[in-house]
Amino acid sequence: MTIPIKSKDGIAKMREACAIAATVLDQLKPLVRPGITTQDLEEAGRDLISRLGARSACYGYQHGSRRYPAHTCISVNDEVVHGIPSFRRVLRDGDIVSLDIVVWHDGYVGDNAYTVPVGAIAPELEKLLRVSREALDLGIRQAQVGNRVGDISATIQNYVEAHGFSVVRDMVGHGVGVAMHEPPEIPNFGRKGTGERIKSGMTFAIEPMVNLGGYKTKTLSDGWTCVTADGSPSAHFEHTVLTTDHGPEILTVPRPLPAPAS
């Protein structure tokens, strides 16, 4: 397996795509509140992506004979990833909602996700979100030149399981660049010292998917929505990261939204 090394020009384009994806996500977070529908969030995300000169990498994405029908992935409570927005899905106080934004811009992809509380949530959910965020941070720190992919995986798994939660096995992080999914696969479980050697210029989508209950999942009849098998809540946090000789650099950093064209 050959992991793509990005050129100087490719890195510059990745920075732009990732900044757009992060800005869209950052703008959507404060819209999450009781009473709003996931379709409301979808439409806001769609419009922001277009306003920033990009297009959704999710919309029309083909898996087998199915094409994903929305511009964003919005997953609520026991939905792990790939939740399809709907006017029928009304967010309620105490829910958690994962916003996954992936965009194309100038031939490159930016990918990030964040799980947002809806109003006041239970203490166990607050802990789930905190531990998942911290696991992402710890995993990113392992994306050092000279380390191996398994160092990222094992660090995430060990931290999550030490806090009594489980990591999803059926979905994994991945390389990202000119395609949404590039080598290598980056599981959120594994052993240190295994996997491909990390070199400078690689770009990874590192994304812990953490369940309150067991790690098993299933896919709903829509062919997309991945849910926990035991119905327990799930959290999802993700950044696109560039590996450099000076350490990992998070590319999915939001910036101020430009003023609308007059």
Token pair of 209, please? Answer: 């998917």
**Does 236 belong to an annotated binding site?**
no
Helix then strand then coil, % of the chain, to nearest 5: 25, 25, 45
**Does 181 belong to an annotated binding site?**
yes
**Does 245 belong to an annotated binding site?**
no
- Distance of alpha carbon 54 from its chain centroid, rounded? 18
Token pair of 157, please? Answer: 């798994």
What angle, 0 to 180 degrees and rounded to 10, lies between the N-to-C axes of helices 38-51 and 8-28?
A: 140
The closest alpha carbon to 101, from 129, 126, 70, belongs to 70
Rounded Cα–Cα distance for residues 98 and 117 (Å): 9
**Does 100 belong to an annotated binding site?**
yes
Q: Which residue has the tokens 């607050």?
A: 126
- Distance of alpha carbon 223 from its chain centroid, rounded? 19
**Does 111 belong to an annotated binding site?**
yes
**Does 174 belong to an annotated binding site?**
yes
Rounded Cα–Cα distance for residues 130 and 152 (Å): 18
The closest alpha carbon to 9, from 133, 125, 108, 129, belongs to 108
As annotated, the binding site for substrate includes 82, 181
* Annotated binding-site ranges for a divalent metal cation: 100, 111, 174, 207, 238
Annotated binding site: 82, 100, 111, 174, 181, 207, 238
